[in-house]
């Protein structure tokens, strides 16, 4: 049933979306909410790019132009055929133990990342993009090569829904391995908290760029990981090693805040300097923030 335009934001709220039972249903609801939002935003008129059309390119038969779409958008589009692929996309998700964390938010970083990744996969498959999926923690947990098929959607979402985050992370080394497996240029979308050696991670990200790929980075964090707004006494448990530290947060709050801001600034500035789209996403944020950034990136590629 189509969403009512009055309640579309409900289906972009992480705390509400996660009450839906299946990942596929969450992705579908988020995409539908996003599509309704496009009609009510400054991007109105571009939502056709997520339909079964693609932009007209020189050499396309004029008879394939969709004049109804032109009348609405004043842009030339042709009907997309089942065997056509717009781009090759690799969706890469961190499933290490640090992603299994929530405090301020109602869902964990992994749950947020998985829902957002599933929503983008849903969008891309329906746009006839070839989409693949890689899950990593200390090593590569799962790799599914890109294909463009609606039947493939279920396989990708099932794999993403079946994983349980845990274990240590080895982000830089895994990104280096994934870079070697990417044989054709395309779109690389990465979801992680990037809690690893920042310089090694950036070096790995740059390798995707050197191979002429377009890259979107989504750094997923719980708000408390940024503001460190814990209570008076707290026990901190490393989600990857189970080590514990009991302390009063205000004793270390300033040092933590300075370290975190330096960490975030380094990633953001180096990504932007190297042509990598960087997005810091808090797990309380509406899903459309990240989807709009994906949307803009995709438009730039065509």
Domains assigned to the chain? 8-79 (no CATH), 88-300 (3.40.50.410)
- Tell me the pLDDT band of 256, cut-offs 50, 70 and 90: confident
* pTM (2 d.p.): 0.81
Sign of the Cα torsion 108, 112, 115, 120 reads negative
State which of 35-39, 41-45, 194-198, 237-241 shows the largest mean pLDDT: 194-198
pLDDT score at 173: 96
- Tell me the pLDDT band of 41, cut-offs 50, 70 and 90: low
Q: Would you call 35 exposed, middle or buried from its count of C-beta atoms within 10 A (0-12, 13-18, 19+)?
A: middle
Q: 232 or 130, which is more confident?
A: 130
């Amino acid at each position: 049933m189509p969403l009512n335009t009055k309640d579309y934001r409900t289906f972009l709220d992480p705390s509400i979306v996660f009450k839906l039972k299946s990942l596929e249903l969450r992705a579908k609801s988020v995409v539908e909410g996003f599509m309704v939002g496009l009609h009510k935003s400054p991007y109105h008129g571009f939502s056709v790019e997520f339909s079964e059309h693609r932009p007209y390119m020189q050499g396309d038969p004029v008879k394939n132009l969709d004049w109804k779409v032109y009348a609405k958008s004043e842009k030339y589009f042709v009907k997309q055929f089942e065997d056509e692929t717009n781009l090759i996309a690799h969706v890469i998700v961190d499933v290490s133990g640090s992603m299994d964390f929530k405090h301020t938010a109602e869902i964990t970083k992994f749950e947020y990342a998985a829902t957002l990744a599933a929503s983008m996969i849903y969008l891309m498959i329906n746009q006839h993009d070839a989409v693949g999926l890689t899950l990593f923690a200390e090593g590569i947990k799962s790799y599914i090569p890109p294909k463009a098929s609606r039947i493939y959607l279920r396989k990708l979402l099932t794999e993403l829904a079946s994983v349980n985050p845990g274990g240590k992370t080895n982000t830089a080394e895994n990104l280096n391995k994934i870079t070697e497996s990417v044989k054709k240029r395309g779109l690389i979308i990465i979801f992680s908290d990037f809690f690893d050696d920042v310089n090694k991670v950036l070096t790995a990200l740059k390798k995707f760029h050197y191979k002429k790929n377009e890259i979107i980075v989504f750094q997923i964090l719980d708000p408390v990981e940024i503001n460190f707004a814990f209570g008076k006494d707290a026990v901190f448990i490393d989600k990857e090693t189970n080590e514990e530290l009991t302390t009063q947060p205000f004793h270390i709050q300033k040092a933590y805040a300075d370290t975190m801001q330096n960490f975030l600034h380094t990633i953001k500035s180096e990504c932007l300097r190297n042509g990598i789209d960087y997005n810091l996403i808090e797990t309380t944020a509406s899903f459309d923030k990240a989807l709009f950034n994906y949307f803009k990136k995709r438009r730039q590629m065509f």
